[in-house]
Amino acid sequence: MKKLKYIFPAIALFLVACDSNDDGFYNTEYLESQNSLVNIETQPTYNVNDVLYIEAAIPKLLQQTGQSNLLDIRQSTGNAPTFEFAYLLERRNAANTWDIVDVSDNFIPDLGNANTGSYVQAFLQYNSTDEEYIFRGGIQLVTAGEYRISFITNSSTYDKITLRSNSINNNVILNIFSPSLNLDASGYYTFTVN
């Protein structure tokens, strides 16, 4: 009986510590796009003051890997106002390591919106004429050197880019993993500015 006095509170505290709601995010659906949705507009060579553009487009009807029917992402997300993804630019320093480049002053918006700083948070906005979510923005390359671009992803493979719907009113949130034509297996596009 004396042992019970110690075992009982220990069990209680253990169970209370385990009492949480971290079972997962049950409004989110993860899927993979068959086609590349994000494109780095690469050039054969880069010179100082060139602008490197990244554009993204998600069609209303998406061809999903492993599915025969197209997926209506507007209906799935309850007409989500935007999708978003994020990327960052790094420059190799003298010590042969990579520094993150703050792009706040060098970002050139074109389509959609973006928050800029140590990384770009890009928002694709829906174009009802073309029936697609679209973003295009550029980074002016103001200093010579070796650079690389990578995308922030929650995919298990680095060369997939994650685009997430900003669904409202508790509608389904889509996490779309897009292949990229420009990234290496480690998830980088590396280039040199002369």
Partner 1 sequence: MKKLLFIALISIQYMNAQQPADSLPSQEILKRKNEVRTDVISLVGSSRLNLTYERFFNKDFSAGVSFGYADSEKVNDDFDSGYRNTRPKYDVTPFVRYNLSKSLSSFYFAEVFISANGGDFKKIERRNNGVNDYFVTEKSAYSDFGIGAGLGYKLYIKDQFGIEFMVGFGTNLFDKDKSPDTISRVGLSLGYRF
CA angle 188, 191, 194 (to 5 degrees): 160
Closer to partner 1 at the Cβ: 70 or 100?
Answer: 70
Cβ partners under 8 Å of residue 53, min gap 6: 40, 41, 110, 136, 137, 138
Which residues inside 131-160 make contact with partner 1, applying CB under 8 A?
Answer: none
Tokens in use for 194? Answer: 């002369």
CB atoms within 10 A of CB 17: 8
Of the candidate residues 35, 47, 67, 186, the single one contacting partner 1 (CB under 8 A): 67
Of 64 and 121, CB closest to partner 1: 64
Which window, 44-52, 68-76, 96-104, 143-151, contacts partner 1 (CB under 8 A)?
68-76
Does position 172 bind partner 1 by CB under 8 A?
yes
By the rule CB under 8 A, 80 interacts with partner 1: no
Check binding of 29 to partner 1 (CB under 8 A). yes
Question: 69 or 129, CB closer to partner 1?
Answer: 69
Please report whether residue 70 would count as binding partner 1 according to CB under 8 A. yes
Type of residue at 131: E
Return the exposure string of 128-165: e unless at least 16 CB atoms fall within 10 Å of the residue's CB, then b. eeeebbbbbbbbebeeeeebbbbbebebeebbbbbbbb
Residues binding partner 1 (CB under 8 A): 1-2, 4-5, 8-9, 11-13, 15-17, 19, 21, 23-29, 61, 67, 69-72, 75-76, 170-174
